[in-house]
Structure 1
Amino acid sequence: MTIWRGQGRTHKGRRPANEDTLVCRDGDGLWAVIDGMGGHDAGDLAATIIRESLESVALGGGIAHRLLAVDSALQSANHAIRHHAALHLRSKPMGATVVVLLIYRDEAAVLWAGDARLYRHAGQDTVMLTRDHTPVQALVDAGVLDERQAMSHPRAHVIYQAIGNGDKLELEQARFDISADQQFLLTTDGVHSVLTVGDLARLLGEGASESAILKAALDTGSRDNVTAVKVSADEHYR
């Protein structure tokens, strides 16, 4: 049986504080990156609430059951964030984007809200398995913008879905089969706002670590917090 392991790192980059966080539960097949919003304290707390929900969620059964459990945990986190904002912040905006990768046997699933992303790398090819919940992504889908234009668009950081963004949380999800020759990369927008899919394909093809990917993002000019989790099959258990 293939055993999957994740390595993650987060860095505040050029920001005064880090509102990003991550989760690596190798033994349970769950990995996530989270990008808090609302300024320091609010964004950091929102990300922490989500991280703790994902760290404590009980996972069992097949991939469908695991998806339901994670969805429920994130719905609870959404309620907790909304409740805190109403009580302590006069309903000031407070929330986070998130992407969660689940692997069980030869199946995987991704669950996300916002513009945190999951990529799959195999051979020399890297593809994005998520779709940003942003107006700019809609322009890309319509063929109005290409990837580079989208990255520099003045509304690139506007999102319409996030945990804590509304009373009703709509999470997008997808399921897919996997094989041991694939790798997965989860990133917050501090990384992919400056590194294209081609850039990430080159880095992953060269065997770059998650730390090297963060360094590449910062060297390219990212001004945000940066977080990446790289998940691959343990070569001893393929």
Structure 2
Amino acid sequence: MIWRGQGRTHKGRRAENEDALVCRDGDGLWAVIDGMGGHEAGDLAATMVRESLESLFLGGGIAHRLVAVETALQTVNHAIRHHAAINMRSKPMGATVVVLLVYRGEAAVMWAGDSRLYRYNDDAMAMLTRDHTPVQALVDAGQLTEQQAMAHPRANVIYQAVGIGEKLSLEQARFEVTGDERFLLTSDGVHSVLTVENLASLMQHRVSASGVLKAALDRQSRDNVTAVIVSADEEE
């Protein structure tokens, strides 16, 4: 069984695209990255994270691969902070990231910030990440609904991302895969305007990554939009 990803990114209604993506089908690694800090800084931060994941050597099982990804992200965290320091940037410079790893029957996700991973299976959609945001904490506490969170004035405030702090705290989760499921990775330009139900409907109709972006832009997303869809191919 081979897992394959198809990804698309678009600047949307922004002047520049600070999003990036990684699709390494042969190595079982896919990622969505969302730069922050202004158009030049955000683009550079996203590029640095993308290049670190593209050049990463992956070997061994899921546990070893998680360690490799975390090491790479910790290294680029310091590199981004160093770049910001020597250029005397007053605004934070960084990037959110979500990484999906699949190896044989195991999978894992690692993330920082509000880029997301969803799993679609048996006509049901589940969000496998939790945004590192104050608004997500209110949702988890039952104080806000998903719709209320999307419209919250502090919806874009995040407390974790690559490059914004001396210490990068990455969250991770491991799970089994059967090959019947499909995965969707998104930047917040997508899920800030499309609910879980909206995304589930798109997955049910087997919409492409480009179709996901079109749906977000049709909903008047004001941010860059990026989506990666990962599914299993029965061919060996």
Equivalent-residue separation in structure 1 for 2:189 and 2:87 (angstroms)? 28
Look up the match of 2:139: 140
Pairs aligned (count)? 236
User: Aligned-residue CA RMSD in angstroms?
Assistant: 0.7
Report the Cα offset of residue 91 of structure 1: 4.7
Equivalent-residue separation in structure 2 for 1:152 and 1:99 (angstroms)? 23
Look up the match of 1:185: 184
Report the Cα offset of residue 165 of structure 1: 1.0
Unaligned runs of 5+ in 1: none
Q: Which amino acid in 1 is paired with 2:196?
A: V
Equivalent-residue separation in structure 2 for 1:235 and 1:16 (angstroms)? 41
SS of match in other structure, 2:91:
coil
Equivalent-residue separation in structure 2 for 1:91 and 1:234 (angstroms)? 47
Tell me the TM-score normalised to structure 2 length.
0.99
Counterparts in 2 of 1:85-234, with a 5 A limit?
Answer: 85-234=84-233
- Summarize deviations over 1:125-158 as a string: whole Å, max 9, x none: 0100000000000000110000000000000000
Q: Which amino acid in 2 is paired with 1:129?
A: L
Equivalent-residue separation in structure 2 for 1:162 and 1:89 (angstroms)? 19
Q: Percent identity of the aligned residues?
A: 75
Equivalent-residue separation in structure 1 for 2:8 and 2:83 (angstroms)? 28
Report the Cα offset of residue 234 of structure 1: 1.1
> 1:38–1:94: 8 Å Cα contact kept in structure 2?
yes
Tell me the TM-score normalised to structure 1 length.
0.98
Equivalent-residue separation in structure 2 for 1:38 and 1:214 (angstroms)? 23
SS of match in other structure, 2:54:
helix
Report the Cα offset of residue 113 of structure 1: 0.1
Report the Cα offset of residue 221 of structure 1: 1.1
Report the Cα offset of residue 24 of structure 1: 0.3
> 1:183–1:231: 8 Å Cα contact kept in structure 2?
yes
Equivalent-residue separation in structure 2 for 1:56 and 1:184 (angstroms)? 23
Equivalent-residue separation in structure 2 for 1:84 and 1:12 (angstroms)? 24
Equivalent-residue separation in structure 1 for 2:143 and 2:69 (angstroms)? 35
Look up the match of 1:58: 57
Equivalent-residue separation in structure 2 for 1:39 and 1:62 (angstroms)? 38
Look up the match of 2:9: 10
Unaligned runs of 5+ in 2: none
Equivalent-residue separation in structure 1 for 2:113 and 2:25 (angstroms)? 24
